[in-house]
Chain A
Amino acid sequence: MPVPRGLPVHAGLAVGGGLSAVVAWWAIRRDAAAFAPVGHLSGWILLAILVALTALSWRHRLATYPLGAVVTWSRLHLHLGWLSLVLYVFHTGRPFPGGWLTGALAALFYALALSGLAAWGLNRTLPQRLARREIEVLYERIPGLRADLLKSADALAVEALTSAVSTTLPDFYLARLRPFLERPRDHWRHLVNSAGSLPGLRRELADLDRYLDPRESALRQRLETLLRQKEDLDCHRALQWALRVAGGIHQFLGSLLWLLVSWHLVLVFAFGGGRG
């Protein structure tokens, strides 16, 4: 599996950030009183970083404004994300603070960071896998294309039935191939890049060849082509779904975090910190 572009840089940032967080935690544990004022300042800085991180979604929305390339914003988003992790430890004084609100905030914060990291990883690897596929399709058109494939396959089966003396190929089609063609298949296998149902089906189909005459064999080959195209569609569906969902989860968690952060701010200023 090829190493995603930029992985060494981000791995370095992760290690560096993690070490910084550990050092910060250790320093604060040694003398928490000395670091108390830092808590407020780091909070404000963290808030500012959160605003900057959220700005990426605004940048997406303001697509026609001359605000620079989104790819630059995305890179900045990534680097600020790392920074926020380190600052978070400075702010809380420990990686896992107590209290229901701060605990929830911590959990959500880490979940958000993890989802961002996961989305980054998927955005690096899945497009390369998609690009290796023979076809390129728009996600919204996949159901329609699948329906067209099924129609073509049905037509081949009917042709096999009407042109040949035997029902071997049509029977096999109905029993084994049509279920594969009629709906999305191997969703999770495609996600983990594992072989799906197709190799097995192709083997069975190839084995059938010893019982077919040349006419039927030609139809069998056309059916096999349709099976490969169906597998490509399934792969596209699975991977493009994953790309969309990854980004969607990250955005959703970000929105939740803002809710909790807003509540945290209210408590900090109204009730002296809201410690539970």
Chain B
Amino acid sequence: MANFPVEGGRVDPEGTDGRRRVVDDRSGSVAPGATDTLDAASLARVLALSPFREMDPTRFPRSRSLAAILQDHTTLSRFRRGDILVRAGDYGHSAFLLLSGAIRVVRRPGLPESLLGRAAPPRRHWSTLLAQPFRRVPVGEVREPVRDPGRGRGAGSQPATTIGADSGTIAGAASGLETRREAGNRIRISVKAMEHLLAHHETATLGPGEMFGEVGALSRFPRNVSVLADTDCEILEIGWQALRDLRRYDPPFRDRLDRLYRERSIGHHLRQSRLFSHLDETVLGEIEAAVRFASYGEWNWNADHREESRRSHTERLAAEPLIVREGDPATDLILVRSGFARISQRFNHGHWTIGFLGWGRHFGLAEILGGQESGETLPYQYSLRALGYVHVLRVPAPLVAAHLLPALPASKRPLPPAVSTGPGRERSAGKGQLSPALPTGPGRERFGNEDSGILEFLVDHRFINGTASLVIHLGRCRRCDRCLLACAQGHGGNPRFLRQGPRHGPLMVARGCMHCMDPVCLIGCPTGAIHRHPRGGEVIVHEGACIGCGSCAEGCPYEAIRLVEILHPDGSPQRDPENGLAILKATKCDLCLGQWGGPACQRACPANALLRVDMGNTRAFRRWLEA
């Protein structure tokens, strides 16, 4: 459900396995067997419901029986009318099955931010910011313990330099929201005067037996709509692991999910794409009906990434699922819906990476255009491989040639590929992609004056995921640590990154949060403490809600998140009064959110040796390399 970080409370957690659990705030541990998890009676009840009762249990392996999947990865919850179930923009990894009651899906326009329980961007008081450089910090990571009125004890702690007690917490009490605490220490957020609120919004009502939230769970895209309880209702939350297994072993369920995805999501994506936005509804409908979609790679690719990054380039390439092979006939236009894909070309006995694609990018347009002009189906000039996890749409080439290409403005038309392929011939450049292969093969300049291995390095390590990757040019860096000092100055005495990390020649990608396009660290956070800020997209940790479980640190493939012990001013660790355990909090770069002027590290470098790079826009990166 909606992951609202709550100061001193416990939100409805979307657990790593989709199970709703009561988190014991006092110890910070997750306590199984809580009220809304599936006990034996609940499990029996769920198994008797559609679609589960129609599933053939014999299709499931003994090690992953239907009952085990449901017991481990689903949860029952009850809501009252007006409760917010799903919040647009949140990252979620569960789908939901409505068992009783009704829900309202808010389509256009979306609910205003003030009604989604999100606070304004956190900003420290100007006097705090002014005093920062002069404050002596003999001990880092000091926080002032706060008392939780609900529990009457001093567990948990508040940053001493808090950016606002309500930051990231439920806000909007004055603007139409109300909160309540329920059994199991659950927080529910309700919209007041729901009918009045939704009078000017396009909504859809779903009833018992209907599913929602599958798009976000399957494609790992932020929720694109908000969902409210229209009546008192009961919902079965199905975690992504259960979705994965149910799709794999039960074809009817897979077909049902795919149909929902097709009905609810594909059209939306096509209309968002610059390539298709000029087409009329009839043509879009025809294309929508013909589009095929597929996912490649592992949804939780981050689990193995650290291990994989130690492999050779050839081994990594071999392990990446092939979406399109170079030389195969170009029968589809590939649209990347989420995740990343590597574009490569055969070179000698290997493959040369010439680019990558992210959300919204396309592949194969030049070949289809060339095929239209030559009257024959051209082969794909490059191979396309999944990096981690990628979800794509495939639009059949005839539809592209018939409807898309004729109406495409000249500025968007790529050059058709040369008829005879192979190194030595010019290639076309797709819009939004990096420059294509140059005639003489690897070794030609690609990133300014640096060697072409930079791209291979960035793609192999999946640094292309970053929107604010911390890149240091070691040929300029004076090792003065002013970047670290600036970071520490803004974060209570402890910097939020390490001036160490993987290298390629003089370039190093430091171990600091890259604020990824696909922030896999969010998967599995039981409280929603780590979340993406809705305005700037920064990935931030709300310390009040963080229980120090370490799932984000463990999940981050770039080792950018650290758990730290919270200390008293005298340097002694703060401890939970219930069990004596040290209190831990996840810390990471927050792009100096709430501070003046943005990332202090980049501004503090006297040698222009540090840059926060958005891998989706490499022009600034190239200019910086050539400076």
Q: Are A60 and B604 in contact (CB under 8 A)?
A: yes
Complex: A64 Cα to B473 Cα, angstroms: 22
Task: Tell me whether A123 is interfacial, beta carbon within 8 Å.
Answer: yes
Complex: A127 Cα to B608 Cα, angstroms: 12
Q: Are A71 and B608 in contact (CB under 8 A)?
A: yes
Q: Are A243 and B133 in contact (CB under 8 A)?
A: no
Q: Per-residue CB proximity of B473-489 to A under 8 Å, as 1/0?
A: 11111111010011001
Q: For the complex, would chain A's binding face be called helix, strand, loop or mixed by DSSP majority? A: helix
Question: Which of A61, A73, A139 is in CB contact (< 8 Å) with B479?
Answer: A139
Task: Tell me whether B109 is interfacial, beta carbon within 8 Å.
Answer: no
Complex: A60 Cα to B485 Cα, angstroms: 9
Q: Are B480 and A243 in contact (CB under 8 A)?
A: yes
- Return B507 CB to nearest CB of chain A, in Å: 9
Q: Per-residue CB proximity of A33-77 to B under 8 Å, as 1/0?
A: 000000000000000000000000000111111101111011000
Task: Tell me whether B563 is interfacial, beta carbon within 8 Å.
Answer: no
Q: Per-residue CB proximity of B605-617 to A under 8 Å, as 1/0?
A: 1111100000000
Residue of B nearest to A128 (CB): B475
Q: Are B505 and A131 in contact (CB under 8 A)?
A: yes
Q: Per-residue CB proximity of B131-145 to A under 8 Å, as 1/0?
A: 011000000000000
Question: Which of A60, A62, A73, A127 is in CB contact (< 8 Å) with B476?
Answer: A127
Q: How many residues of A contact B (CB 8 A)?
A: 26
- Return A123 CB to nearest CB of chain B, in Å: 5
Task: Tell me whether B101 is interfacial, beta carbon within 8 Å.
Answer: no
Task: Tell me whether A138 is interfacial, beta carbon within 8 Å.
Answer: yes
Q: Are A123 and B607 in contact (CB under 8 A)?
A: yes
Q: Per-residue CB proximity of B177-209 to A under 8 Å, as 1/0?
A: 000000000000000000000000000000000
- Return A5 CB to nearest CB of chain B, in Å: 9
Q: Per-residue CB proximity of A130-148 to B under 8 Å, as 1/0?
A: 1100001011000000000
Q: For the complex, would chain B's binding face be called helix, strand, loop or mixed by DSSP majority? A: loop
Q: Are A65 and B597 in contact (CB under 8 A)?
A: yes
Residue of B nearest to A123 (CB): B478
Complex: A60 Cα to B129 Cα, angstroms: 16
Task: Tell me whether B506 is interfacial, beta carbon within 8 Å.
Answer: yes
Q: Are B606 and A70 in contact (CB under 8 A)?
A: yes
Task: Tell me whether B592 is interfacial, beta carbon within 8 Å.
Answer: yes
Q: Are A65 and B133 in contact (CB under 8 A)?
A: yes
- Return B177 CB to nearest CB of chain A, in Å: 34
Q: Are B479 and A63 in contact (CB under 8 A)?
A: no
Q: Are B506 and A63 in contact (CB under 8 A)?
A: no
Asked, given contacts A70-B482, A127-B477, whether A64 binds B592 with beta carbons under 8 Å apart, the answer is: yes
Q: Are A127 and B133 in contact (CB under 8 A)?
A: no
- Return A256 CB to nearest CB of chain B, in Å: 22
Question: Which of A64, A138, A139 is in CB contact (< 8 Å) with B600?
Answer: A64
Task: Tell me whether A247 is interfacial, beta carbon within 8 Å.
Answer: yes
Complex: A65 Cα to B600 Cα, angstroms: 8
Residues in A neighbouring B475, C-beta threshold 8 A: 127-128, 131
Residues in A neighbouring B605, C-beta threshold 8 A: 69-71
Q: Are B479 and A64 in contact (CB under 8 A)?
A: no
Residues in B neighbouring A69, C-beta threshold 8 A: 602-603, 605, 608
Task: Tell me whether B503 is interfacial, beta carbon within 8 Å.
Answer: yes
Task: Tell me whether B364 is interfacial, beta carbon within 8 Å.
Answer: no
Q: Are A64 and B595 in contact (CB under 8 A)?
A: yes
Question: Which of B489, B499, B508 is in CB contact (< 8 Å) with A63?
Answer: B489
Complex: A74 Cα to B604 Cα, angstroms: 11
Task: Tell me whether A240 is interfacial, beta carbon within 8 Å.
Answer: yes
Asked, given contacts A70-B482, A127-B477, whether A63 binds B604 with beta carbons under 8 Å apart, the answer is: yes
Q: List 21 A-B contacts (CB under 8 A).
A: A64-B596, A65-B133, A65-B597, A66-B603, A71-B605, A71-B606, A73-B606, A74-B606, A74-B607, A123-B478, A127-B475, A127-B478, A130-B479, A131-B505, A136-B503, A138-B479, A138-B499, A138-B500, A240-B479, A243-B478, A244-B479
Residues of A bordering B, CB below 8 Å: 60-66, 68-71, 73-74, 123, 126-128, 130-131, 136, 138-139, 240, 243-244, 247
